[in-house]
Structure 1
Amino acid sequence: MELTITNLSKQFKDKTAVDDVCLSLTPGVWGLLGANGAGKTTLMRMIADILNPTSGKILYDGKDIRTMGEEYRNLFGFLPQDFGFFQDFTVKDYLEYIAALKDVPARETRKKIDSLLHTLTLDDVRNKKIIKLSGGMKRRVGIAQAMLNDPKILIMDEPTAGLDPGERVRFRNLVSEFSHGRIVLISTHIVSDIEYIATKNAIMKAGKIVNVGTTDELVNQVKGKVWTCVVPAEKITMYEMQLRIINQRSEGNNQVSIRYLSDEGKTSNSVLAPPRLEDLYLWLFPQEEIIERGI
């Protein structure tokens, strides 16, 4: 099974959101990383066949998805950043409605919904209206609807937004298990949510895919550029102005441990640290803030 993206572009008036992207997605979890405005959401919407490309093709096992129609929709699951629902829908009613739209056999619908509600810890709110749920619960309902038809291709845009740390752990475990024999593409700002479960990552910048590889392959790009040191707390403001600090922690005794990015050590007591995927992200996108730093 393979989803092949060939020379895909999308132009909006005078802006090129996706620029000649080529990417071959195979079974496993794929992370899609990039700053705001990189083109990730536009690319996902074209993969979901809800936005037509300006040029290029997306092929599923050699077939153009735009000619597959219902065949493609039946094997596809999609969680957008904002999923729509009627305000009067309860969680159960909404999932039954989505199951019908996705042609999930009626005899399987209840079993599938019960399983997802249990896995996503939504059992207690199955009869509550979605509009009255917390942001994290709404996001979990969105994840459930995307997985209802056991899709062969699952695309999720910022799936962990609003989830607490425990929910994010359960989400990672669920996706890791679900991905066997399936293509799962996840776009997220929370780099730690895909760092340890992604088979491969694609990095997107200014509408282009600039790098593809495993986490280990990609973080090698910042090997020798991640440093740690301990500095006096009263000088931390000065160091923040001089260094690209990506983390700091109070060590007591008026000392602060800092982790920073640089081609060379900037203090006499700096030592190299093993790089992580978040380090690469901040190296490539120095102006982009990480919304959360994981757990």
Structure 2
Amino acid sequence: MELFINNVSKQFKDKNAVNDVSLHITSGVWGLLGANGAGKTTLMRMIAGIMEPSDGKIEYDGIPITTLKGKYRDIFGYLPQEFGFYPEFTVKDYLEYVATLKGLTKKDTKKKINELLENLSLENVRNKKINKLSGGMKRRVGIAQALLNDPEVLILDEPTSGLDPGERVRFRKMISEFAKDRIVLISTHIVSDIEYIATKNAIMKNGQIIATGTTDELVQEMNGKVWECEVSTEQLPEYEKKLQIVNLRNEDDGKVTVRYLAEKPFSSESFKVKPRLEDLYLWLFPQETNKEVK
């Protein structure tokens, strides 16, 4: 079970949204990390067969997906950033409709829908119209439709958008179990979605893959660049002005522990700390430092 992305590019007028991307994706959870506008969604849409590359090709087990056509769709599940549904559909109606499109039998449809509603905590809203659901619940319905045909290849674009922290934990557990003998590719800018469950990660910036590897391999780049120190509240504005701060923690003694990224320590009181994937992400995408990176 292998997905080959071979020198794939996508040109939109005067912009290269994806530029000569190559990846060899094997079974397990893969994370595709990048800031908004990095080209992740365009790449996902090409892998899904919704959009054709301007150059390059995508193969599943050595066969181009354009050749596989329906056979590829049969083993494929996809959650886009925004999924469409008729306003009058209930959750159950919508999942039955998608199951029909995916060719499931009535028996399999009933069994799979019941299983997914339970796993995604949607049982109590099975007969509720989707347009009346919260954003988090709508997202869970989207995840359910992607899983209906028990796909060999599952592509999830920003899957936890709108989910609360508890829902994110349950989602990660479910996906980790699901991916044992399948390919799962998760595109996200929320680092915690993939930090601990991803077999490998690919980092995308300006339409290109700039790094690939396990979490442990990738964070090695940040060795000696992540620091902590304790400062007074009076000192804090100076640190905030001059440093790329990734975290602040108030201490019982009234001081503040500052975690920051730098090639060398800002003060003699600073000490090196073990880097995390979030540190690497914010180092590569400094404009995201003041945004939500969970």
State the TM-score, normalized to the length of structure 2.
0.98
- Structure-2 residue corresponding to 1:205: 205
- Structure-1 residue corresponding to 2:179: 179
Map 1:189-204 to 2 at 5 A: 189-204=189-204
- Structure-1 residue corresponding to 2:93: 93
- Structure-2 residue corresponding to 1:39: 39
Map 1:54-203 to 2 at 5 A: 54-203=54-203
Does structure 2 retain, via aligned residues, the 8 Å contact 1:65–1:72? yes
SS at match of 1:264: coil
Q: State how far apart, in whole Å, the 2-side matches of 1:7 and 1:164 are.
A: 37
Does structure 1 retain, via aligned residues, the 8 Å contact 2:79–2:146? yes
Does structure 2 retain, via aligned residues, the 8 Å contact 1:234–1:254? no
Cα shift at 1:253: 3.0
Does structure 2 retain, via aligned residues, the 8 Å contact 1:27–1:184? yes
| Superposed CA offset, 1:233-256 (max 9, x none) | 122111101111000011133311
RMSD after superposition: 0.9
| Superposed CA offset, 1:67-99 (max 9, x none) | 211100000000000000000000000000000
Cα shift at 1:268: 1.4
SS at match of 1:77: strand
Cα shift at 1:162: 0.6
1:8 aligns with 2:5: no
- Structure-2 residue corresponding to 1:280: 280
Between 281-290 and 203-212, the greater mean CA deviation after superposition: 281-290
Partner amino acid, structure 1, of 2:188: T
- Structure-1 residue corresponding to 2:252: 252
- Structure-1 residue corresponding to 2:22: 22
Partner amino acid, structure 2, of 1:39: G
Q: State how far apart, in whole Å, the 1-side matches of 2:52 and 2:290 are.
A: 30
Does structure 2 retain, via aligned residues, the 8 Å contact 1:245–1:259? yes
Between 194-203 and 254-263, the greater mean CA deviation after superposition: 254-263
- Structure-2 residue corresponding to 1:239: 239
Does structure 2 retain, via aligned residues, the 8 Å contact 1:46–1:53? yes
Cα shift at 1:293: 4.3
Cα shift at 1:292: 3.8
Cα shift at 1:133: 0.2
- Structure-2 residue corresponding to 1:262: 262
| Superposed CA offset, 1:132-161 (max 9, x none) | 000000000000000000000000000001
Does structure 2 retain, via aligned residues, the 8 Å contact 1:10–1:53? yes
Partner amino acid, structure 1, of 2:199: T
Partner amino acid, structure 1, of 2:150: D
Q: State how far apart, in whole Å, the 1-side matches of 2:279 and 2:288 are.
A: 12
Partner amino acid, structure 2, of 1:65: I
Q: State how far apart, in whole Å, the 2-side matches of 1:290 and 1:6 are.
A: 35
Cα shift at 1:269: 1.1
Q: State how far apart, in whole Å, the 2-side matches of 1:293 and 1:258 are.
A: 17
State the TM-score, normalized to the length of structure 1.
0.98
Q: State how far apart, in whole Å, the 2-side matches of 1:266 and 1:27 are.
A: 43
Partner amino acid, structure 2, of 1:252: D
Query: Relative to 1, partners in 2 of residues 1:131 and 1:18: Cα closer, same or farther, differing over 3 Å?
Result: same
Q: State how far apart, in whole Å, the 1-side matches of 2:189 and 2:106 are.
A: 37
Structure 1 spans left out of the alignment, 5+ residues: none
